[in-house]
Amino acid sequence: MNNQYDVIIIGAGPSGIFCAYELTRQKPDLKVLMLEKGRSIEKRQCPKRKTKVCVGCQPCSITTGFAGAGAFSDGKLSLSPDVGGTLPEILGYEKAEELIHEADDIYLKFGADKKVYGIEDYEAIEAIRTKAIRANLKLIECPIRHLGTEEGYKIYTRLQEHLIKSGVEIKFMTMVKNILVEDGVAKGVLTEQGEVFYAPEIVAGIGREGSEWFSHICKEHGIDTKNGTVDVGVRVEVRDEIMKELNEKLYEAKLVYYTPTFDDKVRVFCTNPSGEVATEYYDDGLAVVNGHAYKSKDMKTKNTNFALLVSKNFTEPFKSPIEYGKHIAQLGNMLSDGKILLQRYGDFRRGRRTTEERLHRNNITPTLKDAVPGDLSLVFPHRIMVAIDEMIQALDKVTPGIASDETLLYGVEVKFYSNKVVVGQDFETSIKGLRAMGDGASITRGLQQASANGLWVARCILNQ
Measured between alpha carbons, how far is 201 from 179 in angstroms, rounded to an integer?
11
The predicted pLDDT at position 243 comes to 96
| 457 close to 15: Cβ distance less than 8 angstroms | yes
Nearest to 348 by CA among 311, 387, 309, 310: 387
The predicted pLDDT at position 51 comes to 66
Measured between alpha carbons, how far is 160 from 44 in angstroms, rounded to an integer?
13
The predicted pLDDT at position 306 comes to 97
| 150 close to 71: Cβ distance less than 8 angstroms | no
| 321 close to 230: Cβ distance less than 8 angstroms | yes
The SS3 assignment for 206 reads coil
First-to-last CA distance in the chain? 24
| 203 close to 421: Cβ distance less than 8 angstroms | no
For every one of its 464 residues, what pLDDT tens digit does the chain have, with 9 covering 90 and above?
589 999 999 999 999 999 999 999 999 999 999 999 999 999 988 776 666 666 677 887 778 899 988 766 668 899 999 999 999 999 999 999 999 999 999 999 999 999 998 877 889 999 999 999 999 999 998 999 988 777 888 999 999 999 999 999 999 999 999 999 999 999 999 999 999 999 999 999 998 888 889 989 999 999 999 877 789 999 999 999 999 999 999 988 999 999 999 999 999 999 999 999 999 888 778 999 999 888 788 889 999 999 999 998 877 787 788 889 899 999 999 999 999 999 999 999 999 999 999 999 898 999 999 999 999 999 999 999 999 999 999 999 999 999 999 999 999 999 876 678 999 999 999 999 999 999 989 899 889 999 999 999 999 999 98
Amino acid occupying residue 228 = G
86-125 in b/e form (b: 16+ CB < 10 A) is bbbebbeeebbbbbbeebbebbeeeebbeeebbeeeeeeb
What is the Cβ-side half-sphere exposure of residue 318, based on CA atoms within 13 angstroms? Answer: 16
The predicted pLDDT at position 52 comes to 63
The predicted pLDDT at position 287 comes to 93
The predicted pLDDT at position 295 comes to 78
Nearest to 370 by CA among 51, 32, 26: 51
The answer to whether the peptide bond before residue 400 is cis (omega within 30 degrees of 0) is no
The SS3 assignment for 248 reads helix
The predicted pLDDT at position 149 comes to 74
The predicted pLDDT at position 440 comes to 87
β-strand partners of 227: 419
The predicted pLDDT at position 313 comes to 81
Q: Which residues contact 336 (CB under 8 A, 6 or more apart)?
A: 371, 372, 374
**Sheet of strand 230-239, all strands in order from the earlier edge strand to the far edge:** 137-140, 254-258, 265-272, 303-312, 230-239, 408-415, 341-344, 372-373
| Interaxial angle between packed helices 447-462 and 14-26, expressed in degrees from 0 to 180 and rounded to the nearest 10 | 40
The predicted pLDDT at position 121 comes to 83
Measured between alpha carbons, how far is 429 from 203 in angstroms, rounded to an integer?
10
The answer to whether the peptide bond before residue 81 is cis (omega within 30 degrees of 0) is no
CATH number of the domain located at residue range(s) 7-112+147-226+419-462 in this protein: 3.50.50.60
SS (H, E, C) 2-68: CCECCEEEECCCHHHHHHHHHHHHHCCCCCEEEECCCCCHHHCCCCHHHHCCCCCCCCCCCCCCCCH
The predicted pLDDT at position 46 comes to 76
What's the distance, CA 419 to chain centroid?
Answer: 14
β-strand 341-344 against 372-373: which pairing, if any?
Answer: parallel
| 339 close to 333: Cβ distance less than 8 angstroms | yes
Nearest to 257 by CA among 408, 392, 377: 392
Nearest to 143 by CA among 104, 108, 106, 111: 104
Map out the domains of the chain as residue ranges.
7-112+147-226+419-462, 124-141+229-415
Reduced DSSP (H G I as helix, E B as strand, rest coil) percent helix, strand, coil of the chain, to 5: 35, 25, 40
Nearest to 300 by CA among 292, 308, 288, 289: 292
| 411 close to 432: Cβ distance less than 8 angstroms | no
β-strand 169-171 against 254-258: which pairing, if any?
Answer: unpaired
| 194 close to 13: Cβ distance less than 8 angstroms | no
